[in-house]
Amino acid sequence: QVQLVESGGGLVQPGGSLSLSCAASGSINTMGWYRQPPGKQRELVATITRGGTTTYADSVKGQFTISRDNAKNTMYLQMNSLKPEDTAVYYCWGRFLSEYWGQGTQVTVSS
């Protein structure tokens, strides 16, 4: 059983930046970030394989950057030029034989 723990959420003004982290308690192959805006379904934001191959939702391409440090079993999400529509609970996800989810961290973009 692998545990995923997110950190780094918070309140930021439009146009600002925020960085999220996800620490895994064990080795994980593919990791990713999902988000769930208020009143909407959870959606994929980005994924990254152990080898560093990344995918992004069209809505965040060029705005968010996903990365990971395999030695630390930690994944990151750098979010720039944040907009109110980026407001959501952001969830860390990982897959290694099974799928694992973090508890979520709130990101609020508001003036």
- Give the pLDDT confidence score for residue 27 in this predicted structure: 87
Contact 92, 28 (CB under 8 A): no
> Which tens digit of pLDDT belongs to each residue from 25-53?
998 999 999 999 999 999 999 999 999 99
Considering only residues 19 and 97, tell me which one the structure prediction assigns the higher pLDDT: 19
**Residue 98 pLDDT level (bands cut at 50, 70, 90):** very high
Q: CA–CA separation, 51 vs 18, rounded Å?
A: 24
pLDDT in tens, 46-78: 999 999 999 999 999 999 999 999 999 999 999
Label residue 44 exposed, middle or buried (CB < 10 Å: 0-12, 13-18, 19+). middle
Residue 81 predicted with pLDDT over 90: yes
Residue 32 confidence (pLDDT): 98
Phi, psi of 70 (to 5 degrees): -65, -35
User: In terms of Cα–Cα distance, which of 81, 73, 75 is closest to 105?
Assistant: 75
Q: What is the mean pLDDT of the chain?
A: 97
The letter for the amino acid at 91 is Y
| pLDDT for residue 1 | 87
